[in-house]
Amino acid sequence: MRFDVVTLFPEMIEVPLRTSIIGRAVEAGLISLGIHELRDHGLGRHRSVDDYPYGGGAGMVMRPEPLFAAVEPLRAAGANVILLDPAGERLTDALARELSTLPHLALVCGRYEGIDERIRTLVDREVSIGDYVVTGGELPALVLIDAVARLVSGVIAEASHEGDSFAAGLLEHPQYTRPEEFRGMRVPPVLLSGHHGEVNAWRRREALRRTRDRRPDLLDAAALTDADRAALEEMTRDA
């Protein structure tokens, strides 16, 4: 899979993507990356990429010409073009999985207070990482790339994302490693029992409990079995 990123701050993109799991996937050729500095397409002697808003008001607006110049060749090369923007559709596990089936994404990172509205005609879709405001599209682009790239075959063990909390529609169950006791806190005995059936039943129950306690909205959409409903019923009676 290929990712191209159009940005005013290429170093914000470079360093995270050559680090850790994604860095290794790039080295291994599972993922390829292109980083495109928008300033290269800036206008005039100052290579300007922004200007004052028509109609007045605070803040600057990104001009369309540099963005069109940077993105059109990527579109011509077959990329699906995505603008990171708070007005976009929300990035979810389902959207990450859908995007991971595409061969080529180009991510457009904005800066300043906004973009010229005509830039939206240049993109296939707009994606938001959540209802808060960050100073530029670079961190959202990195979040999207990380969430999508880890689903590309070979980047991580397949089993690691089949069980992802959101894939199952539930939050993850609690996990423990050594030591068996830490500052008086013990690992639940069932996990030490070696009974795989009981371990799996406990994990499912604790995933249900955590989801009910922290994200009941997810529970409504999750595919629950009769056994799940019975377990939830029992928990509600007990505590």
Active-site residue numbers? Answer: 86, 113, 150, 164
Q: What residues pair up with 3 in beta bridges, in sequence order?
A: 33, 105
Least Å distance between CB 13 and ligand 4HQ?
14
Residue/partner pairs of 73-79 with CB below 8 Å, 24 or more apart: 74/4, 74/6, 74/34, 74/36, 74/106, 75/106, 75/122, 77/104, 78/103, 78/104, 79/2, 79/4, 79/104, 79/105, 79/106
Q: In terms of CB distance, is 85 or 206 closer to ligand 4HQ?
A: 85
Q: In terms of CB distance, is 4 or 85 closer to ligand 4HQ?
A: 85
The three-state secondary structure class of 204 is: helix
Q: Which of 6, 49, 67, 84 binds ligand 4HQ (CB under 6 A)?
A: 84
Q: Does residue 10 interact with ligand 4HQ by CB under 6 A? A: no
198, amino acid identity: E
Which residues in 157-186 contact ligand 4HQ (CB under 6 A)?
A: none
Residue closest to ligand 4HQ, measured at CB: 140
The three-state secondary structure class of 193 is: coil
Least Å distance between CB 142 and ligand 4HQ?
11
Q: Which of 85, 107, 108, 150 binds ligand 4HQ (CB under 6 A)?
A: 85
Q: In terms of CB distance, is 90 or 214 closer to ligand 4HQ?
A: 90
Question: Which of 151, 148, 165 is CA-nearest to residue 222?
Answer: 165
Q: In terms of CB distance, is 83 or 170 closer to ligand 4HQ?
A: 83
Question: Which of 168, 181, 160, 162 is CA-nearest to residue 210?
Answer: 168
Which residues in 96-155 contact ligand 4HQ (CB under 6 A)?
A: 110-111, 128-130, 132-134, 136-137, 140
Site residues for ligand 4HQ per CB under 6 A: 84-86, 110-111, 128-130, 132-134, 136-137, 140
